[in-house]
Amino acid sequence: MHNIDDSPQPQQRESPGQLRGWAADRLRVEILEGRIPPGEWLRQERLARALGVSQTPVREALKQLAAEGIVEHVPYRGIRVVSFTPNDVEDFYTARVCTEGRAARFAAQHVTKRELDELRELHRRMKACETPRDLASYREINREFHLAIIRASRRPYLVRSLSQLWAAFPTMLWGIIPGVASESVPGRDDPDTAEHAEIIAALAAHDPDRSERAMQRHIESAAKALVSAMRAGQ
């Protein structure tokens, strides 16, 4: 397992809840950035020693990460980082097509001028990124773009569920697919830009049907490219 002994140590006076959150944050970063790879077993004693805490906050942190879908509990074996097949990725993106499409539909009805200006600025910043040099920045801005639309839906359940989803995915997927972790998904730079522009235009027109279709096409196109890259890597 990747050595995380050099990670910043928690303050000794932190509460159990703070220690659990700190441990979860540290482990989440290690997993999402690929330093703890898919399929690796996570042993509480070893993690506690590496993080400089007791096993209790590590155990609670692993429960939190399991709830987020980043790790999984295997009966009689322990906890390991989840692995994904192309079929898993297709299912994940199918769920996004439905839920984020719905969020875009409601966002078209409620989005404000300030929120549209924010989306346009995020789009401008994405277009200014050069890959692969600015890939990490591009993906973070892309995450902010999608979350801004989700929040604009004013639908509390969609906001909660999709915000949790975006906390880990698709960052984790990008990090574990050969040729995608440090490079753009093949053939996606220009379509991404055009699709984001169409989503903004549909929202600005306050057209629910157009907004939903634009978001769905965008996610379906991204899914097709990512699954193709994943299968090519296998």
Q: pLDDT for 166-195, tens place per residue?
A: 887 777 777 666 566 666 776 677 889 999
137 vs 178 pLDDT, higher one: 137
CATH 1.20.120.530 for domain 86-233: yes
Q: Determine the average pLDDT of the residues in 136-145.
A: 92
In the chain, residues under CATH classification 1.10.10.10 are: 16-81
208 CB-contact burial (10 Å; exposed 0-12 / middle 13-18 / buried 19+): middle
Q: Determine the average pLDDT of the residues in 22-47.
A: 90
Nearest alpha carbon to residue 96 among 58, 139, 154, 149: 149
pTM: 0.80
Structure tokens, 42: 């996570």
Residue 144 has what pLDDT?
A: 96
Least confident of 114-118, 125-129, 136-140: 136-140
**10 Å Cβ neighbour count for 226?**
23
In the chain, residues under CATH classification 1.20.120.530 are: 86-233
Residue 58 has what pLDDT?
A: 97
Residue 128 has what pLDDT?
A: 95
pLDDT above 70 coverage of the chain, percent:
88
Q: pLDDT by residue (tens digit) across 37-94?
A: 889 999 999 999 999 999 999 999 999 999 888 899 999 999 999 988 889 889 999 9
Residue 135 has what pLDDT?
A: 85
CA–CA dist 82, 88 (Å, integer): 11
- pLDDT band for position 136 (cuts 50, 70, 90): confident
Nearest alpha carbon to residue 148 among 131, 140, 205, 221: 140
CA–CA dist 69, 86 (Å, integer): 17
CA–CA dist 160, 17 (Å, integer): 21
**10 Å Cβ neighbour count for 2?**
12
Asked if pLDDT for residue 147 goes beyond 90, the answer is yes
- pLDDT band for position 11 (cuts 50, 70, 90): low
**10 Å Cβ neighbour count for 51?**
22
CA–CA dist 142, 126 (Å, integer): 7
Fold (CATH) for 16-81: Arc Repressor Mutant, subunit A (1.10.10)
**10 Å Cβ neighbour count for 107?**
30
